[in-house]
Chains A and B, each alone.
Chain A
């Protein structure tokens, strides 16, 4: 009937040593105990209110007991609310979670840090009625118009609430901020400062009111500045920073932002100078796109599908420029292995056959075109390779002779089993003549191109050629699990090369061999382990390699 039952009284009596409590007494006591407990709690709540708290603590109960001149409870004033646990099997039986503590642990534990002393810090909660967007203030959900309520002021007019259209008001500070960021983005002269600005964009709270302005700005500038490579890059950086900012709800403006971003990914031409490394921009943008899909893909289910559709269309349209194909491939790759598997791999064979003539140095005279083709080829390779790599990672969990080996991938040849070594020896044996052939070819092309433009071009070419020849000669066992980073690093190395190009090339070649060896091993491993199950992947990858 009441909260305190007769049994409770009996148990309590036993616990304090009264064994001969008559049931009648217990029955009489029960309601009185409940009344007293309620009384104490009522006083405790008063103490809590006067301590300006909304959570009842043990100290409040002590205060209440003090008010009644009773002994306070001991051993509970540990600060902080208690964690209560539900007793299993009982509906409303709770107990405090009181772990046993080992003395040893207590003694051996390092001294706890001294608690920090109380401090008072001040900030502006509002300035003339408007909350400034500073980190100390709670982020605003909606910026509301200041009350321009002349209507309310008219004393005699019938008091009707006239809703004024909500006016979007930007504080002076925010306007300045926006201007500064826009200037920095446009100027491209101060990269250090721009970096700072990006950090600020990615972390500051209170930028939300600026988001529509930024999206507008980005859309405008992208459409206007397609020839300005640096600007585009900066803009994409801004986009990424905005995406990273946890205080901004950019969702609402995605529809404005996406076209600009996709433009930067698959536009025919980005930047007007030959030197502009628009490949890099495309790579970066691909990552941004992936970021967007990752964050908002769940909320907007159609987002990713629409995006992939756009990209695949771009990829499969033979009329589109190779640069566009490249962007599409990179975008798809960034979206994950599943996307690659589903959308790129099935199209790989026909596409490569399409690409074939472009790749062929004989048929394609235009160096520029050929370079682009190789770029596209590299991207495809990377996509497929990453996909395979991913698959391998998944399989790693299964028992296998040397899982660590598989996992680490590159540069672990020392561990390689003799059989593999033999294999590698095979490849090296077979390769030299062809390679030399190509390298002999190479320099001419390189020198030619050195006049027209500096940079990464030469890099891929030898690599591609190398693959090509290798494939044609030796249609077995080796596969290039090409990796973007790798080719990047090779790029860099090659650039540095200068006069000692031959030496560098040698280094590169050895690197490539390593890679080859590695990937070859991977494939073999794959076949060993999975036989037919891997077959759906292998033909296409092999196709890419052994064409």
Chain B
């Protein structure tokens, strides 16, 4: 290239960058040297290069380039071969949002907005919520301020793409000299090119969540080892040991005997699988250990036993007896033996019921209200209509009905903001409630009084859950943390930080060593209680996660989101076994049956659904290699008249309790 040309490019560059005086000087200097020879420079020595460089020097600041480049690439991608189309289209979304953010970042607000609106439709289906967030970003300062945008800007998106698609894309970009698009792709997309045929389009879960470098972290985190087995020496074990003795003494227990054998078989089966996949402690146990232990510091004998990671309290013998009794009388559920569902309807709530909770035996119902109150109903004593539901739960809780003769509930006042969650301790003698006033309060159902106020969170506490053994509890909040507490300390024992947005729900693993949290960042995480580390990240939900449930055998987890999708996860592999579609509104509540064969889900669409989860897990085991894992099925749908289902719980005897507030149908 001759020097004049170089000079010209330098000129152009200087002009573009606004160094006008420098450009002038240069020009003058050139004029001086060449004496008007400047204009006669031969541009066309290397037209390709010239064009390229000219394009650099001319229009970098031109906002329409983004639109042109994007729309060209878009139409090309839509017209590409069907086989590779979906892979190429996957590239479009990161391109789209980065184009938009570039435009905003350069201050072309108007162009950014029109660009956004013209192509928004393409991505609405999958990324609606992200788009809604980004839509508001209009000035460069917002980009800095908004965490979501920042994380997008700073990170690269991983896109799996097959060799051929990759070649196609690069060829196209080079041929059309879409340097802008090429630049964005280089900057923000990390292609993982693999050889062979492109993946089927359904397998694009990775593409759904574009949350920075998440995928890598997640992959990394998910390598960690977790012990999802159950605790040793559980009550169910003891039940098995003593089973024969007891059944000898009792008449008509033959059937239950059979059940127990069954569960024994299954538990050993689980044990085998577990050890083959993971180094499993010999946590051989039955299915429902989650609900087995129900003890409280108030009732425990002083010597705590050391369980794997947490020091768990010991239950008193009479509580233990009643649980054993319950377990012996448990109805075995399966896809052919459906549970009975007792529904508690809150009436006259005036839209004030924020949450409902049902005690483990179903006899107590707590409601958290937006007027800061917590109300507890003792269903065993209320209305004869309720007896039917409670007959099988002959638990002898001596609960106290409200002191006021007129009211038949216990009113607990203490919070100073809407109550967002309530949870019963396993024996039902304590209630925890969490509120927008950032506190968690412990109430005694025997004294009807507030015992402790736990302050630690900085923002509203969205959810609180007692551990399956009582004493410990977990909470999660708008401050993006989840915390572990024990009843006897007013400060948290652990703080789990890592979610990128509100932590919306929390759930204990049956062995108490882990908690799971669901968040508005559309992920579910599993945390080690002892170390406070994140041990699993589950990516796949397309909207805020609202409810979680752990299978009694500790192997699976179900999570429900705002769109009505329920996902069933394998904890050890952190993979989604299958999404359960069926609800068309928020899934507020999930619950596994005692032996883990059924999953119940309650939703804002006023239905309770039962899902057969044994078939799914079985078939996944069998068909994992065939790739056909979508065998989960909905067994039943129970519509309520007009009651969104807020809470669900399987009692130890496998009676399903559900609760919700009657709402007038929208007219």
Contact = CB atoms under 8 A, between A and B. Distances in A.
Q: State which size class the interface on A falls in.
A: 35 or more
B401 to A, nearest CB: 13
Given A35-B137, A49-B562, A148-B336, A122 B343 contact: yes
Interface stretch (B2-10, B160-168, B184-192, B632-640): B632-640
Contacts of A50: 354, 420, 460, 462, 504
Contacts of A120: 344-347, 365, 367, 377, 379, 382, 409, 659
B618 A155 contact: yes
A49 B261 CA distance: 43
Interface in A88-146: 115-131, 136-138, 146
A49 B114 CA distance: 31
B604 interface: yes
A204 B132 CA distance: 47
A163 to B, nearest CB: 13
Nearest to B607: A138
B72 interface: no
Contacts of B349: 118
A36 B375 CA distance: 36
Given A117-B407, A126-B341, A149-B336, A52 B353 contact: yes
Nearest to A115: B350
B588 A116 contact: no
B109 interface: yes
Interface in A244-273: none
A67 B459 contact: yes
Interface stretch (B266-274, B322-330, B384-392, B507-515): B384-392
A42 interface: yes
A121 B612 CA distance: 29
A50 B408 CA distance: 26
B248 interface: no
Given A128-B340, A147-B335, A118 B544 contact: no
Interface in A133-192: 136-138, 146-150, 152-153, 155, 159
B77 to A, nearest CB: 27
B338 interface: yes
Contacts of B408: 119
Nearest to B387: A122
Nearest to A148: B336
Contacts of A63: 418, 436, 460
Contacts of B141: 32
Interface stretch (A53-61, A303-311, A369-377, A427-435): A53-61
A407 interface: no
A127 B619 CA distance: 28
Given A136-B641, A149-B336, A121 B354 contact: no
B110 A1 contact: yes
A55 B370 CA distance: 15
A129 B339 contact: yes
Interface in A37-80: 37-39, 42, 46-47, 49-55, 57, 59, 63, 66-67, 79-80
A155 B622 contact: yes
A2 interface: yes
B326 to A, nearest CB: 19
Interface in A368-407: none
Contacts of A2: 109, 113, 138
B638 A122 contact: no
A305 B376 CA distance: 62
B354 A52 contact: yes
A59 B370 contact: yes
Contact of B389 (A38, A49, A116, A122): A122
Given A1-B113, A121-B385, A126 B546 contact: no
A32 B145 CA distance: 12
Contacts, number: 196
A127 B385 CA distance: 15
Contact of B351 (A79, A116, A122): A79
B335 A152 contact: yes
A31 interface: yes
A345 B499 CA distance: 84
A353 to B, nearest CB: 59
B502 A54 contact: no
B517 to A, nearest CB: 14
Given A46-B478, A122-B344, A155-B622, A131 B638 contact: yes
A35 B141 CA distance: 11
B588 A125 contact: no
Interface string A23-40: 000001001101101110
B608 interface: yes
B631 interface: yes
A28 B379 CA distance: 59
Given A31-B109, A128-B340, A129-B636, A138 B641 contact: yes
B383 A42 contact: no
Interface in B608-667: 608, 610, 612, 615, 618-619, 622, 631, 635-636, 638-641, 644, 646, 656, 658-659, 661, 666
B336 A147 contact: yes
Contacts of B575: none
Contacts of A51: 354, 370, 418, 420
A35 B608 CA distance: 38
B440 to A, nearest CB: 15
A122 to B, nearest CB: 4
Contact of A159 (B385, B418, B612, B619): B619
Interface in B47-98: none
Given A50-B420, A155-B622, A125 B640 contact: yes
Given A35-B138, A51-B370, A122-B386, A127 B343 contact: no
Contacts of A55: 666
Contacts of A35: 136-139, 142
B261 to A, nearest CB: 18
Contacts of B343: 122-125, 136
Nearest to A35: B136
Interface in B449-494: 459-460, 462, 478
B181 interface: no
Contacts of B347: 116, 118-121
B138 A57 contact: no
A436 B138 CA distance: 103
B520 interface: yes
B277 interface: no
A54 B562 CA distance: 10
Nearest to A127: B340
A118 B585 contact: no
Contacts of B459: 67
A80 B342 CA distance: 29
A516 to B, nearest CB: 54
B129 to A, nearest CB: 9
B335 A38 contact: no
B133 interface: yes
B101 interface: no
Given A120-B367, A124-B389, A136-B343, 12 more contacts: A34-B136, A38-B135, A50-B462, A53-B351, A66-B417, A67-B459, A79-B351, A116-B348, A118-B369, A124-B342, A127-B340, A138-B639
Interface of B: 109-110, 113-114, 132-133, 135-139, 141-142, 335-355, 365, 367, 369-370, 375, 377, 379, 382-383, 385-386, 388-389, 407-409, 417-418, 420, 436, 459-460, 462, 478, 502, 504, 520, 544, 546, 562, 585-586, 588, 604, 606, 608, 610, 612, 615, 618-619, 622, 631, 635-636, 638-641, 644, 646, 656, 658-659, 661, 666
30 contacts: A1-B109, A2-B113, A31-B138, A32-B138, A42-B133, A47-B460, A50-B420, A54-B604, A55-B666, A63-B418, A67-B459, A67-B460, A115-B348, A116-B347, A120-B377, A120-B409, A121-B385, A122-B385, A126-B338, A126-B638, A126-B656, A127-B340, A128-B338, A129-B339, A129-B636, A136-B641, A138-B606, A138-B640, A148-B336, A152-B335
4 A-B pairs with the lowest CB-CB distances in the bound complex, closest first: A129-B338, A31-B138, A38-B136, A125-B341
